Amino acid sequence: MFKPVRHGCTALLCAMLLGAGVAAHAAGIKEGLKITFIPKQINNPYEVIADNGGMAAITEIKGVGKVVGPSDAGASSQVPYINTLITQHQDVIVIAANDANALVPYLKKAMSQGIKVVTFDSDTAPEGRQIFVNQADAESIGRGQIQLVSKLMGGEGEFAILSATPNATNQNTWIKWMQDELKKPEYAKMKLVKIAYGNDDDQKSFVETQGLLQAYPNLKAIVAPTSVGIAAAARYISSSSSKGKVVVTGLGTPNQMRAFVKDGTVQAFQLWDPGALGYLASYAAANLASGTITGKEGDSFEAGKLGKRTIGKQGEVILGPPTTFDAKNIDNFNF
């Protein structure tokens, strides 16, 4: 089932772009490139911000952008969209992959027909794409999540992870680094009791939160490295007797989390700017399709207002470190 095509940019991003007067055509980028974004799911506010950032960059480079995608983050739900984009002869598919391997044959087919493939937010296996635009170094995101929850729960007690889907490449990579960080002696008194999956579905994440609290009466914290999961967990806890007793942290958008920070449910959480992530992905895509880069390590390109970026190992480009949001700074952010 196909959803309507989305265009546009966030008020903040639009204002920044207009204010900066970024209208000049970027050097070496062809005009009229057809670049389509496939988010993990079309109705996730995080993905909407990222896609809008991508569309804003495509407007700058005088390309033709659109967003298509499924309404659930299931492993194979992006396949029909990839197939349609192949028949539509797009120049680039920019995709936040719902599975590391399931999409690879379809993306390989696209590449064999001259379509460039860029993953962003959530990667495929490297053979499924030419470039991966990563929000931040996965190891630091994972370790940072444990460092943050440890601080918030006083370094001891039971905690659970509320993840996205069991197949999500980004969450699974972060969780691997979280588990590695936990091996350090300073976390000896912390116990990860369960990894639950809310599938980046608000209602399922809400129910999973309730289940965790019932199954683990001594639970001291829930870490949700997904903007859908953390918002649902905070909503559940904000109106339960666990408010103020069970820590909720993870990765979320300031706009979705603001009310829970203000009402004391959440003390701190992290994220990067999803709009900037999408924006960077479009510049990587356009440069790839224009032949100014091939995706090999050491290739560099100009990414509009983000400046020069260089491709690292295995075709990975990194946006930058995440921000930690709390009551003191959250009102400085509007996304």
Q: How far is the CB of 121 from ligand RAM (least distance, A)?
A: 5
3-state secondary structure of 215: helix
Q: How far is the CB of 19 from ligand RAM (least distance, A)?
A: 27
Among 59-67, 162-170, 290-298, 323-331, which window interacts with ligand RAM (CB under 6 A)?
162-170
Instruction: Decide if residue 270 touches ligand RAM (CB under 6 A).
Output: no
Among 33, 164, 178, 212, binds ligand RAM (CB under 6 A): 164
Window 42 to 71, contacts with ligand RAM (CB under 6 A): 44, 46
Among 81-89, 123-131, 222-230, 304-312, which window interacts with ligand RAM (CB under 6 A)?
222-230
Q: Which residues contact 282 (CB under 8 A, 6 or more apart)?
A: 35, 53, 54, 55, 57, 58, 61, 63, 65, 94
* Encoded amino acid at 207, one letter: V
In angstroms, the Cα distances linking 122 to 67, 75, 133, 152 are 16, 12, 9, 27
Tell which residue, 222, 174, 150, 152, has the closest CA to residue 322.
Answer: 174
> How far is the C-alpha of 26 from the C-alpha of 54, rounded, in Å?
15
Question: Among residues 77 and 290, whose Cβ is nearest to ligand RAM?
Answer: 77
Site string for ligand RAM, 94-113 (x = CB under 6 A): --x-----------------
Instruction: Decide if residue 40 touches ligand RAM (CB under 6 A).
Output: yes
> How far is the C-alpha of 317 from the C-alpha of 20, rounded, in Å?
24
| Count of residues that interact with ligand RAM, criterion CB under 6 A | 14
Element (H, E) at 251: none
Q: How far is the CB of 64 from ligand RAM (least distance, A)?
A: 25
Question: Among residues 86 and 251, whose Cβ is nearest to ligand RAM?
Answer: 251
Instruction: Decide if residue 227 touches ligand RAM (CB under 6 A).
Output: yes
Instruction: Decide if residue 205 touches ligand RAM (CB under 6 A).
Output: no
Question: Among residues 157 and 321, whose Cβ is nearest to ligand RAM?
Answer: 321
Count other C-beta atoms under 10 Å from residue 142's C-beta.
22
Q: How far is the CB of 330 from ligand RAM (least distance, A)?
A: 16
Instruction: Decide if residue 228 touches ligand RAM (CB under 6 A).
Output: yes
Q: Which residues contact 21 (CB under 8 A, 6 or more apart)?
A: none
Residue with CB nearest ligand RAM? 46
Q: How far is the CB of 72 from ligand RAM (least distance, A)?
A: 12
Among 122, 199, 205, 287, binds ligand RAM (CB under 6 A): 122
> How far is the C-alpha of 136 from the C-alpha of 317, rounded, in Å?
9
Listed in sequence order, the DSSP H helices in the chain are 11-20, 45-60, 79-87, 104-112, 138-152, 169-182, 202-215, 227-238, 254-262, 274-290
Instruction: Decide if residue 173 touches ligand RAM (CB under 6 A).
Output: no
Element (H, E) at 137: none
Residues that bind ligand RAM (CB under 6 A): 40, 44, 46, 96, 121-122, 164, 168, 170, 200, 226-228, 251
